Chain A
Amino acid sequence: MLRSFEGFALPKGVSLPLDARSLHLDADVRLCVPDLTELWISELADRLLATRRDLLARTPSEIAAILGRAGECFLERGNLFRLEALELLPSTSGLSPQMARAVLDGMATDWTEDRLSLLLHKELVDPEVLNGFLLRGGREVMAVGPKLTVQVVAGTVPGVSVNALIRSLLVRSPTLLKPGRGDCVLPVLFARALREVDPALADALAVVYWDGRNDSVVDLALEKAEVVTVYGSDETVGDLRNRTPVTARFISYHHRISVGVVGRDAYADAEVDQVADAVARSIGFFDQRGCVSPQVVFTEKGGACSPKAFAQALAAAFERLEVVLPGGHLQVHESSTLHQIRGTAEMMHNRASIEVLHGGDASWTVIYQAEVGPMVSSVGRVIRVCSIEDASELPVFLAPHGPHLQTVGVIGLGARLRDLSRELAHAGVSRVSPFSSVPFPPPWWHHDGGGPLLDLVRWVDLESS
């Protein structure tokens, strides 16, 4: 049955400018999106700006509590918001129902009052610093949230846009969020849940999807912002950076590469299958679309399991993962790329000691390479396993890609971990994490190297005579 879903959630009293258009996301969901006009977006921005006074009348901890109550709706079994999310996510995100549920559970875990309160404290030490001047390190400082934050988020991983809007609301900034097409459901539902919990706070948030090519609407939104955050491809980020007024702060989350390292000591305390399961899960989560998702696993020689045997174990792990967290539906261009990748890797088989293992109709594909060599781009759940002599080679391998590096998933590096992490940090990596935590960094992680709240606020000094 065809379902309609409104791709927007607006402050009270704001009505749509024109007839909504429909975008088909899948066979069974129609996303209604408004045709925006410049005047409308400009008025919307003004309405949001006007809510700041109300936001400033509340303490950050109070806001964390309210956001937490909205967020918890998505964890409670039987809650209608959760049920609607679970129903809509597979078609709108392309993830399998099982994966969509796991993603929602993983994301919403960090939308509770406890976690958001921790986020405030870890970032700001004392959140009261948003409310007035505090003495810190011998100086009096205060943090001020943006008068309006405009956020443009990619549609790659559902839930990322909710993380984004939580961050700006926590620092008491009215927020205009344009989610990506594959991530419209959760921010809209979150905004609705927020309206039930606290209508006044919900009025400080507008979630609205529009066609990214509507340049004049984008420009007007950017013009009103004090802070602009953009998640997406280098091209998208570059384009919006150029359009953002010089007086607005621009925070970008552009293309990222994450990788994994399986050290030779990985099998000291765990069975090969257990290691492979953890690695496969970190890759398969979000169907490998996350910026945190490893694209290559570097496997050290000299362990109890050879890199090649590990590649085979990983293939078996993907087969097991396919049962509990099946891969999602591939679109035609993704299937096409998958066949191109597999076929090309098979053709290269004899040249670079490449071995290709894959799941047939399931997208998982393990390409073992005896040495690091050129390969094609990735889609679905495609992992390259490259054999390396020693993990200490990695920083040199990765350094040319420093500006795009993000997470390195690790296991089995023992006492070498700290030194290697230091070198990886210099190469450009911003996060080193056990494979098991790779998909879900905590809310206070240094996202691409910056503080999730600290990047948003402006510091004010009160100097004494």
Chain B
Amino acid sequence: MFKHITNTSYRLIVAELIKELEQRLRSGGMSSWPEDVFNSLALEAFAEQFHSIVPYRRFCEGRGTTPSSVHRWTEVPAVPTTAFKFIDLVAEKAEVVFRTSGTSLGKQRRGRHLVRSLALYRASLVPPFRKYVMADTERIRVLSLIPPPRAVPDSSLSYMVEVVVDQFATESHWLVGARGELDRTMVRSLMRTVSDAGEPVLIVGTALSFLHLIDLLKEGVHPPLPIGSRIMETGGFKSSSRQTTRDELRQRLFDVTGIPTDRVVNEYGMTELLSQMYEPVLKEGPEAAGTHVAPPWLRVRALDPLTLEGLPPGEEGLLAFFDLANVGSICHILTEDVGSVIEGRVQLVGRVLGAEPRGCSRAMDELMSAANTP
């Protein structure tokens, strides 16, 4: 039936779908979505993506899957994150292009996520942030260790922090430049101002940026930050040789800022997914550390690494996400992350990024790229 729909009507369907999602997301979207509602939206999104993204359609057809053959969102072919490095996956003109950061593999290609609707991205990122990071307060002073979007316009994280600032900040301070360098003078004077003011703060940053902050704050004596302060920490130490476990990091953050370890919320996200997951420690207490909760429009499964079949709750496998906020690109994504899932909550084991060829044989990525360059 889908082939009878013209391009124009498809565009309308997508516009409608985006509008509907936006509305759902804004109006108390955080309450759980019944499976049938999720499923029907997911199938609609798939049909649209199948129709309008040619490489995806070929991919699905190659696997014998079409919108009419699929009844559950779990049957929709998942696109590996690596594909984002090589192919532009978007139905129409993108409003913005987000790029993945460099990884430990250094020269590796960066993934590109072409985002069709920034409005939808905004609508999807605010409610979970409110629920898991701003659970006990309306507005807060924000200190960002993420570079501002004007410095890195292709970073989804920078864009996200800007939205957070718009929505929740009484005041905001961008403490890091485009190359991740900390404004040391500003940090030092701010620590004093903030603790004198007695108003709680939210510090957002990557694990690596917090290490730099710790190094700086260790150099002097600072009063603890006001009660009610919190931290949102994201990402691992992918590009760094400095290995620190999360517990250690939290302890050291407490040592220099006075923010208790159970007020550090880890965010788990990736450029290829517009939605984020959070550790619900502010809502549920320290026992919730180590688990991440998905918003209702994001479904996550752990798959058998060999067969890619869904695994029973609690078993470790490769994580696959179906993110309705990705309606403008590809919803169903197969990642290289390993974890287990129980009732929509993810226990993250780690990223198996870069199964580098072992021993003396070498990846051909570079060879092939170079060979293609005249």
Contact = CB atoms under 8 A, between A and B. Distances in A.
A337 B360 CA distance: 18
Contacts of B308: 339
Interface stretch (B27-35, B55-63, B128-136, B178-186): B55-63
B355 A334 contact: yes
Given A346-B59, A348-B87, A350-B54, A374 B369 contact: yes
B83 interface: yes
Interface in A179-207: 180, 182
A284 B325 CA distance: 42
B364 A361 contact: no
Nearest to B305: A335
Interface in B287-321: 305-308, 318
B83 A347 contact: yes
Contact of B360 (A154, A182, A334, A398): A154
Interface stretch (B74-82, B152-160, B210-218, B229-237): B74-82
Contact of B359 (A291, A349, A374): A291
Interface string A259-302: 00000000000000000000000000000111101011000000
B371 A351 contact: no
Contact of A351 (B55, B305, B306): B55
Contact of A233 (B79, B360, B365, B368): B360
Contacts of B356: 233, 377
Interface in A356-410: 356, 361, 371-379, 384, 397-398, 400-401, 404
B359 A157 contact: yes
Given A231-B360, A374-B372, A295 B355 contact: no
Contact of B306 (A291, A330, A378, A404): A330
A288 B361 contact: yes
B306 A231 contact: no
Most buried by A among B54, B83, B334, B354: B83
Contacts of B369: 374
Contacts of A135: none
B370 interface: yes
B352 A336 contact: yes
B355 A350 contact: no
Nearest to B349: A332
Interface string B340-369: 000000000000101111111111111111
A420 B63 CA distance: 41
Contacts of A372: 368, 371-372
Interface residues of B, number: 45
A310 interface: no
B2 interface: no
A400 B357 CA distance: 20
B48 interface: no
A349 B62 contact: yes
B124 to A, nearest CB: 25
A361 B358 CA distance: 21
Given A154-B359, A290-B361, A343 B55 contact: no
B336 interface: yes
A373 B368 contact: yes
Interface of A: 154-157, 180, 182, 231-233, 253-258, 288-291, 293, 295-296, 330-337, 339-344, 346-351, 356, 361, 371-379, 384, 397-398, 400-401, 404
24 contacts: A231-B360, A232-B360, A256-B362, A295-B361, A296-B368, A330-B305, A335-B305, A336-B352, A339-B308, A339-B318, A343-B79, A344-B83, A344-B86, A346-B59, A347-B56, A361-B306, A374-B365, A374-B368, A375-B364, A376-B82, A378-B363, A384-B368, A401-B366, A401-B367
The 6 closest A-B pairs by CB, nearest first: A156-B359, A377-B363, A337-B355, A333-B352, A343-B80, A154-B359
